[in-house]
Structure 1
Amino acid sequence: MKAGLNQSTQLKQELKINPRLYQAMDLLYMPLLDLQQHLKQELLNNPFLDMVEPDEDEEEEGAETTETSAEEQKEKKEEDENEIDWENILLDGFDAGGRREEHEEKEYYEPVTVAERDLGDHLRDQIQLLDLNPRQLMLADEFLGNINEDGYLDCSLEDILAGINDVIRQTAEEMDRDPDEAPYYAPQEAEEMLRVVQSLDPAGVGARDLRECLMLQLKDAGLEHSVPYRLVRDCFEELIAHRWSEISKRFGISPADVQRAADEIAKLDPKPGLLYSSAGDNYIIPDLIVEKIDGKYHVFLNDANLPRLKLSKAYQEIARDKKKFEGESKEFISNKLNSANWMIQAIEQRRQTMLKVMNYIVDRQRDFFEKGVQYLKPLTLREVAEVINMHESTVSRVTNEKFVQTPRGVLPLKFFFSSGLSTTDGEDVSARGIKDQIQKLVQNEDPKHPLTDQAIVNILKQNGVNIARRTVAKYRDQLGVLSARMRKRV
C-alpha cells in the first residue's frame, strides 16, 4: 500500500448537548437559595430580563397586548413557530438543535467565606494571657498548630520536637552560625508545654487519645480520685466492652456501681474541640410546602422571595426596530433576547417539574402524612419517573438537596425514597418504616433484658413483616443502636 494522504466522507449520528441544556440541568439541581442568587445575577447580566413587580397591573398589560399591530403579531407567530420545545429536551436529554448554538461568556464570582473564630483562636487567646517567655510561646504555637478540630493532638511529642528543632537548625544555618550550638528544645520542655496546653479550656483539649481526653475532663471536674477516673485509667478496654462483671471483681465493687460510674463517663464530651468549631449553622428554607386543606393535601412552591422574570418592555421596543442594528449589535441583541426567553421558560419548566414530582409523592405516601413514618411505602426514582413521564436522572436532580415543609415537619425529598420489604399480606412496607419500628422496640424494651436481633425478628413477623436477622442487625447498626449485650443493664 502506498503511503499518502486521502479524503473520505462518512455519515454518522452524534449526540451533542447544548450549553443551555447543561444550564437547565443546573437549574433543576439548585436549591432555593442558590437559584435566587443565580436569577439575581442573570438580571444583572441580561438587559432583556426584568422583574415582575408585585403590584403590577395585569389588566393594563393585557390591554397593551390587544393593541399590538398585525405586523408585530406576525413576527410573534414566527418566533413561536421557531421556538424550541424545552420540555421535551429536559425530559429526554436530546440535542437542542443547531438553531441556538451560541454560547455566551459570563462572569462567575467565587463566593468568599467570612473569617470566623475557631478552636485555634480560642486557645491562642488563652496562651497570650499566660506568663510565658518568647521561647515558650514559640513552642506553644507549634503545639496549637497540631491540634485538630476535635481538640486532639494530631502528632507525637517527638514529631513536634523534630519539627521545631529543624526550624531552629535552618535559621542557624541562614545566620552562618554553628547548628550544633543552636538552642534546641529538650523533651522535658515539650512535656511541660503539653501539660500547659492540656490545662486550657475546653477540658480535654490537647489529649492524644480518647482515654486521655476523658481523664483530663474528670480531673478538671475534681474527680481525680473517683471510681470513674480509676475505671478510665486502669481498665479502659473492659469499660468500652461493657464487661461489668470483670470490672466489679477486679475493683471489689458491685456491677451496679460500675454501671453508674460508666453512666457518668458517658456524659463526658469525646470531642471537646467541636464546641469552638468554625462551622456555621445551616438554615433550611423548604423549596415546597404541603398543606392539608379541607381533608386534601395540596402542594405549593415556596418561591415567594424568588425573582419573577419577564421580558423588559423598554428593550423589546428597541429590539423591534431591526433596521437600526447590524453586525455585532444585531447579534448581541438576538443572543440576549433568546437567552432571556429561554431563562423564563426554563424556570417555569423547573416549577412544573417539581410540582409533578411532589404531587405524586404526596399521592403515593398519603398514609405517611396521615399516620406516621411506619406507614411510609417503598418508592424509587424510577417509579416516579415512569409515572410522570420523565427521565430518572431528571427526578434525581429535582429531589437532590431539596426540602419540603409538611404537617410532619421539614423533610428532605430523599426521605420519601427507600427500598421495601414484603409483608405476610403481600403488601410492601418501606425500609425506613421498619427502622422506625426497630427503634421504638429498643426504646421500650426492658433494660435488664434487652431484645436480641432474633427477638426483634420474631416481633416483626408477628406484625406481618418478613425480615431476616442479618437485615435487622444491619438496620440496627445504621440507627446507631448497640447490640443486646452492650445495651444490657444490671
Structure 2
Amino acid sequence: MKTGLQQNAGLRQELKVNPRLYQAMDLLYMPLLDLQQHLKQELLTNPFLELVEPEDEDDDSSDAEDTTAEAQDLAEPETTTESEPEKTGDDDVDWEAVLLDGFETGGQREEHEQREWYEPVTVATKDLSDHLTEQLSLIELTPLQAFLADEFVGNINDDGYLACPLEEIQRGINELLTREAEERDLDTDAPGFSDAQMLEMLQIIQDLDPPGVGARDLRECLLLQLRAAGQRESLAYRLVEEAFDELIAHRWSELSKRFGISAQDVQSAHDEIAKLDPKPGLRFSASSDNYIIPDLVVDKIDNEYHIFLNDGNLPRLKLSRTYQEIARDKKKFDTESKDFIASKLNSANWMIQAIEQRRQTMLKVMHYIVDRQKDFFERGVQALKPLTLREVAEAVGMHESTVSRVTNEKFVQTPRGVLPLKFFFSSGLSTADGDDVSARGIKDQIEKLVAGEDTKNPLTDQAIVEILQQTGVQIARRTVAKYRDQLGVLPARMRKRV
C-alpha cells in the first residue's frame, strides 16, 4: 500500500446549526435584564437598528400628514408679515392645558426636557475583615504581632471560622519571615512564631466582636458565644463542652442520666443553645441586592386569568429608514461595503424577528401553564398539578430543550406572588381517584402536618403515610422520608419533646 497524503471525494450528510440559531437560543435563555443589555449593545454595533420612539407609533398617519404639510409649505409663498390674529377673552385660553402644563403659558413642555433621576444604589458597608482590622487597631500590638494578626484575619472565612489549621498558618508565616530576612541580609537564625505565640494571637482574635469569630469548628464557636454571654458555669456550656455529639443527636435520656438532671432541663439548655449564631461572620457579609423583574405578568380580570409580557422597558427596535435609503443605491459602494451592508441589514431583520419569536414563544408556554395550573391560582400550592417540560413541549409544538430555555431564570408575577417558572414544574403522585397530585403539594401537606403535630408524640414517616393515604394520596414511606429531608425536617425521634 502506498503511504502519503491522499485526497478522496465523497458525499455525506451533516447537520450544522446556523450561527443565528445559536443566537436565537441565547435570546430565549436570557432573562429580561440581560436581554435589555444585549439589545442596547446591538443598537451600538448595527447602524440599521434604531429605537422606536413613542411618536413613531403612528408613523403611517404622521408620514402622510408631513408630506401634505410639506407640499403646502412649498406651494405657499413666503410672507414677511408678523401680524397674528388677536386673541381676546378667556375663551381663547385653554386653562386646563395650562394647569396640566405646570403654568407654562408658552405652550407644551419640550419633549426631551432634562430631569434629574435618582436611582437607589447599594451603600458600601464594612465587611468582616474590615470590622476585625478596626478592632485590632485599638489594641496595643508589636509590629510582629500586628503582622501575625493580619495573617489570622486573612484566613477567616465569611462564616467567621478560621479556615486553616494553626499549623499551616504558622508554617506559612514563618517561611515568609525567613524569605524576607534572606532578601534583606538579616539574621536568618532568628526564630519565627512559636506555638505559644500562635495560641496567644488566636485568643486575641477570638475575643473580638462578633462573639464566636475565629473558631475552628462549631463546638468552639458555641463555647465562645456562651463564654462571652457569661454562661461559662451554665448547663448549656457543660453540654457543649462535654457532650456535644450526644446533644446534636438529641439523646435527652442519655444526657439526663449522665449529668444527673431531668430530660426537661436538657431540652431547655438545648433551646438556649439553639438561639446562638452558628455563623457569626455572616452578619457582616456583603449582601447582594438581587432585584427580580418578572418577565411575565398573570392578572385576574373579570374571573379570567390574562397573561402579559412585562417588556415595557425593553428597547423596541425598528429598521433605520435613513440607512435603508442609503443602502438602496448600491452603485455607490464597492464589493466590501456591499457585503458589510448586506450582513448588517440581514442581522437587523433577523434580530427584530427573533425578539418577536421570543415573545410569542414565552406567551405560548405561559398560556399552557396557566391553563394547566388554574387550580393553583385559585386554591394554592396544594392544588398544584404535576407538570413536566415534555408535556408542555408536546402541547405547544416545540422541543423540550426550547421550553427549558424559555422557563430558565424567568419569573412571573401572579396574584400569589412573584414565582420562577420552574416552580410550576414538578413530578406527580397518583391518588385513589385516579387523579395526579404534584410533589410540591405533597411537601406542603407534610410541612403543615409536622407544624401541627403533638411535640410529645411527633408523627413518624409511617404515620404521615397513613394520613396522606386517608386523603387518597398513594405514597411510600421512603418517599415521605425523602421529602422530609428536602424540607429540612428532622426525624420523629429528634423532634420529640419530653
The TM-score, its normalising length taken from structure 1, stands at 0.87
Q: Shift of the alpha carbon at 1:178? A: 4.3
Greater shift in the superposed pair: 238-247 or 207-216: 238-247
Give distance in 2, aligned partners of 1:363 and 1:466.
Answer: 25
- 1:176 aligns to what? 185
2:306 match: 298
Give the corresponding residue for 2:161: 152
CA deviation profile, 1:189-229 (whole Å, cap 9, x unmatched)? 11111011111121111000000001111112222222211
Asked if 1:359 corresponds to 2:367, the answer is yes
Identify the match of residue 485 of structure 2 among 477, 480, 487: 477
| Stretches of structure 2 lacking an aligned partner (at least 5 in a row) | 68-121
Other-structure match for 2:406:
398
Select the residue among 128, 135, 143 that pairs with 1:134: 143
Equivalent position SS for 1:150: coil
Deviation at 1:157, TM superposition (A): 1.7
SS in 1 for 2:55: coil
Matching residue's letter, 2:30 = M
The DSSP-based 3-state class of the residue aligned with 1:299 is: strand
Who is 2:296 aligned against? 288
Alignment check: 8 A CA contact 1:244 1:259 kept: yes
Offset at residue 56 of structure 1 (A) = 2.7
Matches within 5 A, 1:239-278: 239-278=247-286
- Displacement, 1:276? 1.5
Find out whether 1:232 has 2:228 as its counterpart: no
Deviations 1:406-436 (A, max 9, x none): 1111111011111111101111111111111
CA contact (8 A) 1:168 1:183 kept: no
Q: Is the 8 A contact 1:287 1:403 kept in 2?
A: yes
After TM superposition, give the deviation of residue 179 of structure 1 in Å.
2.3
The 3 A distance-change label for structure 1 pair 267 and 128 is same
- Give the alignment partner of residue 204 of structure 1, picking from 195, 201, 212: 212
Match of 1:125 among 106, 127, 134: 134
> Secondary structure in 1 aligned to 2:413?
strand
Q: Which amino acid aligns with 2:14?
A: E
CA displacement, residues 241-262 of structure 1 (integer Å, 9 cap, x when unaligned) = 1111221222222211211111
Secondary structure, aligned partner of 1:126: helix
Match of 1:15 in 2: 15
Separation in structure 2 between the aligned mates of residue 392 and residue 484 of structure 1, nearest angstrom: 40
CA distance in structure 2 between the aligned counterparts of 1:214 and 1:13, rounded to whole angstroms = 67
Cα deviation for residue 124 of structure 1 reads: 1.5
Secondary structure (helix, strand or coil) at the match of 1:489 reads coil
**Aligned in 2, Cα 1:322/1:140: closer, same or farther, shift over 3 Å?**
same
1:254-297 deviation digits (Å, cap 9, x = unpaired) = 21121111111111111111112234121111111101111111
1:54 aligns with 54
Q: Distance in 1 between matches of 2:7 and 2:248?
A: 76
Specify the SS of the correspondent of 1:291.
Answer: strand
Secondary structure, counterpart of 2:327 in structure 1: helix
Change (3 A) 1:163 1:253: same
Summarize deviations over 1:340-375 as a string: whole Å, max 9, x none.
111111011111100000000000000111111111
- Is the aligned partner of 1:45 residue 2:36? no
Query: Is 1:458 equivalent to 2:466 in the alignment?
Result: yes
Hey, what's the Cα distance between the residues in 1 that align with 2:49 and 2:468? 58
The one-character-per-residue Cα deviations of 1:299-346 (angstroms, maximum 9, x if unpaired) are 111111111111112211211222222222222211111111111110
Q: Specify the SS of the correspondent of 1:56.
A: helix
Give secondary structure in 2 for the equivalent of 1:203.
coil
Which runs of structure 1 show a deviation greater than 4 angstroms over 4 or more consecutive aligned residues? 61-65, 113-117
Deviations 1:36-80 (A, max 9, x none): 111111111111111111233415368569x9xxxxxxxxxxxxx
In the alignment, the residues of structure 2 paired with residue 295 and residue 5 of structure 1 have an alpha-carbon distance, to the nearest angstrom, of: 75
Shift of the 46–61 alpha-carbon distance from structure 1 to 2, 3 Å rule, reads farther
**1: CA distance between counterparts of 2:211 and 2:381?**
40
AA matched with 1:141: D
Q: Secondary structure, in 3 states, of the residue corresponding to 1:429?
A: strand
Which range is displaced more, 347-356 or 119-128? Answer: 119-128
TM-score for both structures, normalised by structure 2: 0.86
Q: What number of residue pairs does the alignment pair up?
A: 444
- The farther-off stretch of 171-180 and 19-28 is 171-180
- Which of 426, 441, 458 matches 1:433? 441
Report deviation, 1:130. 1.7
Match of 1:408 in 2: 416
Q: CA deviation at 1:3?
A: 3.8
Assess, with a 3 A threshold, how the Cα gap between structure 1 residues 261 and 30 changes in structure 2: closer, same or farther.
same
Residues 116 and 26 of structure 1: is their aligned pair in 2 closer, same or farther, counting only changes over 3 Å? farther
Would the aligned equivalents of 1:119 and 1:277 in 2 still touch at CA under 8 Å? yes
Q: C-alpha separation between the residues in 2 aligned to 1:279 and 1:489?
A: 36
